[in-house]
Amino acid sequence: MNISRKHNLGKDNLTLQNSETAKIVGDRLENFWMLENKKNGLENKKNSNDSIRRALVKSFGTYYAFLGLYKLFGAVFTFLVLYLLIS
């Protein structure tokens, strides 16, 4: 598959970086989940206030927050440029 005239889409383009592998990401989420369990002091009880959402936000929240801001600024910039071109 061609990306451009000079470059083909090969195996090097489809591989993950080391920080994106399931082992690294899973270990990171597991560490934050263990911290969430230890925070409440109820590691094996069913009626605890542990939240997988809190663990996910702590492990990946900043990354996705910056991506969201990037998308928001891109949309606002695009809207303003189109508005200024039309008016």
Residue 1 lies in a domain: no
Residue 40 lies in a domain: yes
Structural domains of the chain, count? 1
Residue 6 lies in a domain: no
Task: Quote the pLDDT of residue 69.
Answer: 96
Sequence-distant contacts of 28-36: CB under 8 A, at least 24 apart: 28/59, 29/55, 29/56, 29/59, 29/60, 31/59, 32/56, 32/58, 32/59
Segments of the chain with pLDDT less than 50: none
Task: Quote the pLDDT of residue 72.
Answer: 97
Task: Quote the pLDDT of residue 39.
Answer: 78
Task: Quote the pLDDT of residue 14.
Answer: 74
Distance CA 30, CA 20 (A): 15
Range of the domain at 35: 11-86
Residue 18 lies in a domain: yes
Residue 5 lies in a domain: no
Residue 28 lies in a domain: yes
Task: Quote the pLDDT of residue 20.
Answer: 82
pTM over 0.75: no
Task: Quote the pLDDT of residue 37.
Answer: 83
Task: Quote the pLDDT of residue 4.
Answer: 65
